C-alpha cells in the first residue's frame, strides 16, 4: 500500500498550500485486505475522544497507533487503556500535521472541538487517510461542503458520528416512515431538553504550560485564554462551537431530516437566546427553529436548556406527523405510533433501504466501509452529516441576524432580504496557517 511517507509539518503545509493554487497534492490511496490491521490515530482525546479510543480498541483488526491533542497532559492517562489491553504505548502528537505524517496511521478518528472538524478532516483526506469525525460534521455550512468535496476528490471513506444512523431501532422507524405507515410525513419535530446551567465568568490568563493554545485555537481568531474554553464550555462560544443545537441537538436534527428524506430547505427561521441567567456564554440555551421545504413540508426543532417538562415521555427525541397518525422516537422508549381513530397501524413487512450496510456498531460500520472501499456501506456518510449539520448552522444564522431567511438549497446560499448579512456567516475568516482553501 502506498502512503504519504516522512512528510514534515513544513512539507505538509506546503502541499496544502499547493491545493489553493490549483496544483496537485501528493495523493495516497490504499485498499486493505480483510485481514490487514488498520492503524488508528485519535485526534482530540479529552471527552468524546475517550469513547473513540475504547471503540476502536474493541474492534478486531484495529490498532490504536497514535494519540493527538494540544493538551499534552492527557497523553499518559489516555494511553493507559491501550497499554493495559495490548501491551504497547501509542505515539503522542500535539500537532495533527505531525500525526498525519506518520505512515502507521491509516485512519484518523476526530473528536476535537467543532471548529477543528473540517480542517482536520480535509488535511486527513489530503494525506490519504480515511476519517471518522464527530458530530456536528462541521462548524459552518461552507466547511461542510468542502469536507464532502475533499472526501470525494481523494476517494476517502468519511463517516460522521451521528450514531443513531446505525441504531437498528431508529433504522426500523425510518423505514416504516418511508414505507408510509402513517401516510406521507408532512412534518417532523426534534426536541433537545437537556439541562445546561450557567458557566459563570472566567478571567483571561496565561494558558497552562502543557497546552499549546495556538494549536487549540487553530482556524479560530486569536484571543486570550480563559478557563471556560478548555475543555468543554467552548460549545457555548460562537468561535468554537454551535450551542446545544449543534451539540446534542444535531443527533435529533439528523433523525428529523432523515425521516422526512429531505436535504436543505428553502426557508429558515429561528428565535431564542441565552435566558434565565447571565454568564460568559454566547450561544442560545433556549431556541426554536422552523425549516420549510418547497412543498410546504416542515421540520421544527426546539432546544431547552433550563428546567422543563418532557413531551410524550421524552426530553430528547423526534416526532413525525402524517395524515394517518404520528410516530415518536426517543432515547427512553421504543418508537411509538398513534394511528387514526385509535386504530392499529398497518404492519410493514418489507422495509425500504434507508442507507448503509446496517451494522449496528457505528464504529464497526466505518471499519466495514474502510475495508470495502465503498461509501454506500456507510451508515452516516459525510454528505448526510454535512446536510444535518447545515440545518443547525442555518438556524443559528437566522437567530444571529434576527430574521427569517430564504435559502437556495442547491447553491447553499441565502437569497432575498437579509441575504448579504446572513451569507457572511456561512464561512469564517481563517487564521493562518490553519486555512481551508477554496480548492481542497
Model confidence over 359-376: pLDDT tens digits?
Answer: 999 999 999 999 999 999
Domain boundaries, the chain: 9-165+373-383, 168-352+385-422
Is pLDDT above 80 for 221?
Answer: yes
**Predicted structure pTM score:** 0.93
Rounded distance between C-alpha atoms, residue 260 and residue 189, angstroms: 10
Between 33 and 395, whose confidence is greater? 395
Confidence label for 32 from pLDDT (cuts 50, 70 and 90): low
CATH topology for 168-352+385-422? Dihydrodipicolinate Reductase; domain 2 (3.30.360)
Residues 281-295 have pLDDT tens digits of 999 999 999 999 999
- The answer to whether 355 and 165 are in contact (CB under 8 A) is yes
Look at residue 9 in the predicted model and tell me its pLDDT. 58
pLDDT score of 27 more than 90: no
pLDDT at 230 over 90: yes
Lowest mean pLDDT among 151-165, 223-237, 333-347: 333-347
pLDDT above 70 for 214: yes
Confidence of residue 14 (pLDDT cuts 50, 70, 90): low
How much of the chain exceeds pLDDT 90, in percent?
88
pLDDT for position 29 = 45
List phi, psi (to 5°) of 185: -65, 125
Side-chain-side CA neighbours of 239 within 13 Å: the count stands at 17
pLDDT for the residue 105: 98
Query: pLDDT-derived band of residue 20, with 50, 70 and 90 as boundaries?
Result: very low
CA distance 15 to 21: 10
Q: How many CB atoms lie within 10 A of CB 105?
A: 28
**How far, in Å, CA of 335 to CA of 237, rounded?**
34
Average pLDDT of 385-392? 98
Q: Pseudo-torsion of CA 126, 130, 133, 139, nearest 10°? A: 20
Question: Is residue 318 within 8 Å of residue 251, measured between CB atoms?
Answer: no
The pLDDT confidence band at residue 331, using thresholds 50, 70 and 90, is confident
Q: Class of the 9-165+373-383 domain?
A: alpha beta
**DSSP β-ladder status, 91-93 and 107-110:** unpaired
- Residue 333 binned pLDDT confidence (cut-offs 50, 70, 90): confident
- For residue 313, what pLDDT is reported? 80
Average pLDDT of the segment spanning 30-41: 76
> Looking at residue 312, what is its pLDDT?
73
- Asked whether the beta carbons of 264 and 197 are under 8 A apart, the reply is no
Higher pLDDT, 75 or 19: 75
Round the CA-based radius of gyration of the chain to a whole number and report it: 22
pLDDT of residue 375: 98
The torsion defined by the Cα of 28, 33, 39 and 42, in degrees rounded to 10, comes to 80
Beta strand residue intervals within 81-146, DSSP E? 91-93, 107-110, 130-133
263, β-bridge pairs: none
Element holding 238 (H helix, E strand): none
% of the chain exceeding 70 in pLDDT: 92
pLDDT value of residue 13: 53
Confidence of residue 1 (pLDDT cuts 50, 70, 90): very low
The answer to which of 216-230, 335-349, 417-431 has the lowest mean pLDDT is 335-349
Once rounded to an integer, what is the mean pLDDT over residues 179-203? 97
Residues 6+ apart with CB under 8 A from 33: none
Chain segment 110-122, per-residue pLDDT in tens: 999 999 999 999 9
Pairing relation of β-strands 325-330 and 316-322? antiparallel
Average predicted confidence (pLDDT) for the chain: 93
- The residues, ordered by sequence, that sit 6+ positions from 355 with a Cβ below 8 Å of its Cβ are 165, 376, 378, 379, 381, 384
CA separation for the pair 273, 276 (Å, rounded): 9
| Backbone phi, psi, residue 62, to 5° | -110, 145
Amino acid at each position: 500500500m502506498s502512503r504519504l511517507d516522512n512528510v514534515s509539518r513544513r512539507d505538509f503545509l506546503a502541499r496544502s498550500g499547493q491545493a489553493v493554487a490549483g496544483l496537485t497534492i501528493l495523493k495516497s490511496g490504499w485498499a486493505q485486505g480483510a485481514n490487514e490491521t488498520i492503524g488508528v490515530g485519535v485526534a482530540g482525546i479529552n471527552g468524546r475522544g475517550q469513547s473513540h479510543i475504547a471503540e476502536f480498541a474493541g474492534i478486531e483488526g484495529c490498532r490504536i497507533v497514535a494519540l493527538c491533542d494540544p493538551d499534552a497532559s492527557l497523553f499518559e492517562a489516555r494511553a493507559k487503556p491501550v497499554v493495559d489491553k495490548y501491551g504497547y504505548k501509542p505515539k503522542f502528537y500535539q500537532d495533527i500535521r505531525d500525526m498525519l505524517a506518520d505512515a502507521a496511521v491509516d485512519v484518523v478518528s476526530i473528536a476535537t472541538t467543532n471548529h477543528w472538524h473540517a480542517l482536520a478532516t480535509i488535511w486527513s483526506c489530503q494525506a490519504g487517510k480515511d476519517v471518522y469525525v464527530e458530530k456536528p460534521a462541521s462548524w459552518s455550512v461552507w466547511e461542510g461542503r468542502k469536507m464532502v468535496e475533499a472526501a470525494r476528490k481523494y476517494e476517502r471513506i468519511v463517516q460522521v458520528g451521528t450514531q443513531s444512523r446505525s441504531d437498528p431501532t431508529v433504522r426500523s422507524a425510518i423505514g416504516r416512515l418511508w414505507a408510509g405507515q402513517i401516510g406521507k410525513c408532512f412534518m417532523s419535530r426534534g426536541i433537545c431538553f437537556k439541562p445546561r446551567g450557567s458557566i459563570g465568568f472566567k478571567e483571561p490568563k496565561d494558558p497552562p504550560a502543557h497546552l499549546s493554545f495556538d494549536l487549540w485555537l487553530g482556524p479560530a481568531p486569536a484571543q486570550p485564554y480563559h478557563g471556560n474554553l478548555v475543555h468543554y464550555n467552548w460549545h457555548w462560544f460562537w468561535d468554537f462551537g454551535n450551542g446545544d443545537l449543534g451539540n446534542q441537538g444535531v443527533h435529533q436534527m439528523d433523525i428529523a431530516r432523515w425521516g422526512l428524506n429531505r436535504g436543505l430547505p428553502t426557508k429558515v427561521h429561528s428565535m431564542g437566546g441565552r435566558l434565565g441567567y447571565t454568564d460568559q456564554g454566547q450561544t442560545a440555551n433556549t431556541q426554536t427553529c422552523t425549516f420549510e421545504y418547497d412543498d410546504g413540508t416542515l421540520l421544527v426543532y426546539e432546544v431547552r436548556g433550563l428546567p422543563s417538562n418532557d413531551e410524550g415521555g421524552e426530553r430528547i427525541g423526534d416526532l413525525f406527523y402524517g395524515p394517518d397518525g404520528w410516530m415518536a422516537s426517543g432515547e427512553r422508549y421504543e418508537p411509538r405510533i398513534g394511528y387514526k381513530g385509535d386504530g392499529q397501524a398497518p404492519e410493514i413487512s418489507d422495509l425500504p433501504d434507508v442507507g448503509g450496510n446496517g451494522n449496528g456498531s457505528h464504529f464497526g460500520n466505518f471499519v466495514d466501509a474502510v475495508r470495502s472501499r465503498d461509501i454506500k456501506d456507510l451508515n452516516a456518510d459525510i454528505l448526510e452529516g454535512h446536510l444535518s449539520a447545515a440545518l443547525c448552522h442555518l438556524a443559528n444564522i437566522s437567530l444571529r441576524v434576527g430574521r427569517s431567511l430564504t435559502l437556495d438549497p442547491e447553491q447553499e446560499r441565502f437569497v432575498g432580504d437579509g441575504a448579504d448579512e446572513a451569507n457572511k456567516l456561512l464561512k469564517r475568516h481563517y487564521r493562518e496557517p490553519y486555512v481551508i482553501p477554496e480548492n481542497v
